[in-house]
Amino acid sequence: MSFVIATTIAEAVAAMASGARPIAGGTDLVVGARHGKAALPQHLVAIDRIEALLVVHDTADGVTIGSGVSHSVLESHPLLASAYSGLADASALVGSPSTRNLGTIGGNIMNASPAMDTGAPLLVLGAQVELQSMRGSRRVPLSELWTGPGRTSAAPDELCVMVHIPTPLVRSGSAYLRLEYRRAMEIAVVGAAACVVLDEDGFVVSASVALTAVAPTIIMVDGLHSLAGANVPEAAVRVGVLAAGQATPISDVRASAQYRRHTVGVMARRAVEAAARRAAGDIVAIPLNRAIGIGAAS
């Protein structure tokens, strides 16, 4: 058993090269170990004190978010809240205030749970992760990262250092919401994110939609190019039908497959509606769940 506290990326990847697993907030790793999901790794490298991973940079071609940035920073960051609202919607829902203070975007992504909240908005926003190891660094689109529940295409020695999200198109908006049975300490029963681009008349130019907790990984909804030119209400309804059709949910103690299939369609429809409102310049409060009342009308 070894525990190293890294203060630079170089130290962290060196430790990982010799077999250490990274630990950021520990809200998946430690809590999972306590619940007997998987034993704590023998060798750990703490990455939460690496300042280079704590940045949020507004760049020429988008935003770069350090993997160590916490959900509480993400939910309240003015740039993210305005231009990447779907991500802020998701981070604002995670656990409780203390979970959001500790839990990081890198941990959420690399933990690769099909019920993770930031996954669907990051997918629809076209995000890429930057992975670094002693062998160098590479960028991987999120659509190629998750390979199954808890599994990624990253090698064990690769540290997720950055998340890159391209600048949104003009007249675009994004939104994420999930079905939840209570307002805190919850996990998505199902969820959906949408990114919608509108033309000057308010018709849909393009839409992308991703679904949470209805397949072994977060999935994108296929066949949305046909939405070009549709009006928003019609597009939202069609997305809802496609989402329900493409979901392959399981039945478990939280919900039946049938109920998940139905509600993911509702979430997808509402995500499209909210993303379109934001694309049109409306202010829809973050998180969307509280604004429109899923498990939370107020």
Partner 1 sequence: MTATTTAITTSPPRFVRADGPDKVTGSGRYTADLSLTGVLAAKFRYANIGHARIVRLDVTAARAMPGVFAVLTADDVPDVRFGPFVQDRTLFARDVVRFEGEIVAAVAAVNAVVAQRAVDAIVVEYEPLPVINDIEAALSVESALVHPDWQSYGAADALVRDRNDASFASITKGDVGAGMAAADHIIESRYVADGCHAVPIEPRAVVAQWEGNKVTIWTTTQVPFDARAGVCETLQLPTNRVRIIVPHLGGGFGGKCGFHYEAHIAALARVAKRPVRLVFTRREEFIAPDRRRESIVFNIETGVLDDGTITARRAWLAMDNGAYTADAAFFSQLAAMHTAGPYRIPNVQVEAHLVYTNHQPSGSVRAPTAPQACWALESHTDEVAAAVGIDPVEFRRRNAVDTGAVGPSGQTYGEIGLQQCIDLAAGGAGYGQPLPDDEAIGVAIGWWPSFSVPSGAYIKIDGDGAGQIITGAQECGTGSVMTLRDLAADELGMKPEDFELVYQDTAVAPYDMGATGSQTLLNNGRAVIAAAGQVAEQLKKLAADHLEAAEADIVLADGHAYVAGTPATTVSLVELAGIAAGGQLLIGHGSSTPAEAPPLAGSSCVGDLGMAAFVAPQFSCHAVRVKLDRDTGVARVLHVSAAHDSGIIINPIGAHGQVEGAVMMGIGQALSEGTTYDDQARQRNAALLEYKLQTCADAPPILVQFVEIFTPDAGPRGAKGLAEAPNIATAAAISNALAKLIGRPVRQLPMTAERVWNTIQGDAS
Ligand X SMILES: Cc1cc2nc3c(=O)[nH]c(=O)nc-3n(C[C@H](O)[C@H](O)[C@H](O)COP(=O)(O)OP(=O)(O)OC[C@H]3O[C@@H](n4cnc5c(N)ncnc54)[C@H](O)[C@@H]3O)c2cc1C
Q: Binding residues for ligand X, per CB under 6 A?
A: 21-29, 31, 47, 67, 93-95, 99, 102-104, 106-108, 110-111, 116-117, 159-160, 185-187
Q: Which does 93 bind (CB under 5 to 8 A by kind): ligand X, partner 1, none?
A: ligand X
Q: Which listed option, partner 1, ligand X, none, makes contact with residue 174 (CB within 5 to 8 Å by class)?
A: none
Residue type, 167: T
- Give the DSSP per-residue string, 3-34: EEE-SSHHHHHHHHHTTPEEESS-TTHHHHHH
* DSSP tag of 59: E
* Residue 5 partner contact from ligand X, partner 1, none using kind-dependent CB cut-offs of 5 to 8 Å: none
Interface with partner 1, residue 256, by CB under 8 A:
yes
Phi-psi label, residue 131: left if phi above 0, alpha if psi -120 to 50, beta otherwise = beta
CA distances from 63 to 66, 162, 194, 224, 253 (A): 10, 10, 18, 25, 38
Helix (H, G, I), strand (E, B) or coil at 292: helix
Q: What single letter denotes the amino acid at residue 32?
A: G
Q: Please identify, using beta-carbon distances, which residue of 209 and 255 lies nearer to partner 1.
A: 255
Among residues 103, 252, 278, 126, which one has the least CA distance to residue 190? 252
State the DSSP code for 223.
-
Binding residue (CB under 8 A) for partner 1 from 40, 143, 262, 284? 262
> Which of ligand X, partner 1, none has residue 203 at its interface (CB below 5 to 8 Å by kind)?
none
Q: Minimum CB separation from partner 1 for residue 71, in Å?
A: 16
C-alpha 144/C-alpha 211 separation (Å) is: 15
Q: Which does 127 bind (CB under 5 to 8 A by kind): ligand X, partner 1, none?
A: none
Choices 105-113, 132-140, 242-250, 257-265 (CB under 8 A): range interacting with partner 1:
257-265
User: What's the closest the beta carbon of residue 231 comes to ligand X, in angstroms?
Assistant: 33
> Shortest gap between Cβ of 157 and ligand X (angstroms)?
10
Which residue lies nearer to partner 1 by CB, 3 or 181? Answer: 181
- 296 is a contact residue toward partner 1 (CB under 8 A): yes
Which value, to the nearest 10 degrees, does the dihedral of the CA atoms of residues 48, 49, 53, 58 take? 110
Residue closer to ligand X by CB (options 57, 234) is 57
Contact residues: partner 1, CB under 8 A: 35, 96, 179-185, 187, 189, 253-256, 259, 262-263, 266, 293-298
